[in-house]
A and B are shown apart, each in its own frame.
Chain A
Amino acid sequence: MTFSRRRFLQRSAIATSTLIAIPAVFRSGALAAENPITVGSLHDQSGPIGTSGTPMVYALQLAVDEINAAGGLLGRPLKVIHYDTQSNIQLYSQYAQQLAVKDKVDVVHGGITSASREAIRPTFDRFKVLYFYNTLYEGGVCDRNTFCTGTTPAQTVEKLVPSAMKKSGKKAYIIAADYNYGQITAKWMTKYCKDNGGEILSTDFFPLDVTNFGSTISKIQAAKPDLILSALVGGNHTAFYRQWTAAGMKSKIPIASTTFGLVNEPSTLDAAESDGVIGAYGYFEELTTPASKSFVEKIKKAHPDSPYISELASCTYEGVMLWAEGVKKAGSIDRMKVIEALESGLVFDGPSGKVSLDKPTHHTVRNAFLAEVKDRKWSVLETYTDAKPADTASVCDLVKNPTDTKQYIINL
């Protein structure tokens, strides 16, 4: 066996590079072995609200994967501990306890309905676990341990009602689901309608299992409004849009809604039934900014069968990213230090644009968008930059009362 000089050089080069690489392999092994930062996730992936929760879980996972790919936080990787709460409030309470006491997570992102949030928020207050609620809701939560990244009525309904009134006329008829969300949203609709010189002819609430809207449709016709404001919720209430169209009312009185589209309505209703419905949210899948496009692409690539990616998913992504910015800025995972860092006016550029945390309310200042359904897709008409959570700000000041933990019912 003869050694040529060339071969010797080649082999020694390989050997050297392997030797140099070994510590790197060890090091990355060490990163994984080092105790990870844990992110709790409580979202419904099954049951009636599962369609809303599923894209939220995808968005949370995407944010965590991106942070890990960039080297984690504070040199530690992130680990998600996820529980499917199955649209069941009791499971929310159980899993919240488990996340706080047994899993000892560093932060929790989760909760979809207001009922679920109010079920788990006290648990995280008590066990001092930082909590992010990433859903649009009726506003008013005032709690230093909680950050609400979704939109509130002052950010969306305030834009929706006047622009719909400008298009059609000043007399509105409100139809809403008969539970806390519908009741409170109807109040906001009334307020913004009156603020803009309009008039509410009637407000009708519907139990969630109402399926026949015949008499309501007649009643609306008798009242002759210029505009319908809808906060109907769920599968049974979708029947309203079908029966409304079947009666030939679709082209006569326009509809503006605060809920339409959250469970995929534009793609499940026929174009004739949904065209022209106006909605306002903090995010639409159809936004054409590069950040939004790449966000949607990444989720659809990982989950081709993902339901519509609404504000719920984008706020979850932005919520996780804002929290990560807070941890980076604090240089620690300690809860109070992270809260203080988050309160320092943190900003993150997300799929919906610039999102910044408002110190006195722990809500976000973010963009709002007005859109109209066209050919089974939302077409974005208007962008309102830096919409403020003015409703919550009118009742909540965590700078003055840092120990507050209430949800205020805002008097209108």
Chain B
Amino acid sequence: MAIYVILALDVLNGISSLFLLCLGLAIIFGMMKIINLAHGEFIMLGAYATVISANAGVNIWIAMLIIAPLFVGIVGLVIERCLIRFLYGRLVDSMLATWGLSLLIIGIITTIYGNTQQGVPTPLGGFSIGSYQSSYYTLFLALMAAVMMAIIYGVMRYTRFGLVARATMQNPAMAATLGVNPARVYMSTFALGAAVTGLAGGLLAPVSGITPVMGGAYVAKAFMTVVGGGAAILSGTLSAASLFGSVNQIGAYFTTPVYGEVIVFTTAIVLIRLLPQGISGRFFKGNL
């Protein structure tokens, strides 16, 4: 019996980490239509910001929850001003430019910190259910996923910024005639997406191996989830993350990790074939 509780926790862990990893991409790609192939490197920057500040003596929670998103948010702002703002509406160009950007970021980090691994220990500890063990950090990740969902929902649904941002993404010309400055909205939305991604990197730093090339492991899954989720940032990402996260964890448990991956990618292909607009294109129309 206890094993099923543990397995349920694993599934929860799979879903919440996938959700956190994809939320920033959902804002940048799902909402702004910028194919950000440097998404993995934003995660890596968040992880590095956390590790380096934590090893320099900053409290681990401050490093994860404040420094990582702040730093990556600022980096995102600079990148938007220097690169992305010239590429709105040019899907293929944005893909090429951000791919180059990802190589550049990997190169810079390797030059500064080398390609040796970095790391911080996982805070919190483990607990046992019956004869099985799990970690509190799993629960913390799930909590953070819920909190982030609430914050993004609150911002997008109830604040003036959220309303203006959504309006601008839907019809920038109309928003501009109503006195909004689309360039500024794009800039801050991109920075917000980068900050959310940085936070995900910070949260995952204590449970992953951190190297300059670590982003590569996340970027394909993040795109798969966001595309599978469809246009709605929250309901889409959450439903796709739930589907892929649980398929992955349960698949890996009952077969092998190799098949676990295969099953996830097969599910993604079938899903896109059946629902070309993503899950939210069919089931949560009009939701956030």
Contact = CB atoms under 8 A, between A and B. Distances in A.
Given A205-B258, A218-B7, A219-B253, A235 B135 contact: no
B125 interface: yes
Contacts, number: 146
A217 B116 CA distance: 26
Given A248-B135, A272-B121, A239 B207 contact: yes
A246 interface: yes
A46 B128 contact: no
A215 B126 contact: no
A243 B209 CA distance: 10
Contacts of A263: 116-117
Contacts of A143: none
Given A214-B13, A243-B135, A46 B256 contact: no
B208 A242 contact: yes
Interface in A239-261: 239, 242-243, 245-249, 252
A90 interface: no
A243 B207 contact: yes
B114 A51 contact: yes
Contact of B207 (A215, A216, A242, A307): A242
Contacts of A212: 13-14, 17, 248-249
A204 B208 contact: no
Given A204-B257, A216-B257, A239-B208, A209 B216 contact: yes
A210 B209 contact: no
B234 to A, nearest CB: 22
Interface string B116-147: 11111110111110011111011000000000
A215 B114 contact: no
A235 B209 contact: yes
Nearest to B245: A212
A221 interface: yes
A218 B253 contact: yes
Contacts of A238: 117, 119, 208-209
A207 B263 CA distance: 13
Contacts of A237: 209
Interface in A202-232: 204-207, 209-212, 214-219, 221-222
A407 interface: no
A153 interface: no
Interface in B194-248: 204, 206-211, 213-214, 216-218, 248
Contacts of B118: 268
Contact of A215 (B209, B217, B258, B260): B260
A248 B133 contact: yes
Contacts of B114: 51, 305, 307
B218 A211 contact: yes
B133 A269 contact: no
A249 B126 contact: yes
A168 interface: no
A238 B121 CA distance: 12
Interface string B1-39: 001001101100110010000000000000000000000
Given A209-B216, A215-B10, A252-B133, 11 more contacts: A178-B257, A178-B258, A207-B258, A212-B17, A221-B6, A239-B209, A242-B206, A245-B121, A248-B134, A249-B126, A272-B121
5 tightest Cβ-Cβ pairs between the two chains A and B: A248-B126, A238-B209, A270-B121, A235-B211, A246-B135
Interface of B: 3, 6-7, 9-10, 13-14, 17, 110, 114-122, 124-128, 131-135, 137-138, 204, 206-211, 213-214, 216-218, 248-250, 252-253, 256-258, 260-261
6 contacts: A214-B13, A215-B253, A221-B6, A235-B213, A238-B117, A239-B207
Interface of A: 46-48, 50-51, 178, 204-207, 209-212, 214-219, 221-222, 234-239, 242-243, 245-249, 252, 263-265, 268-270, 272-273, 305, 307
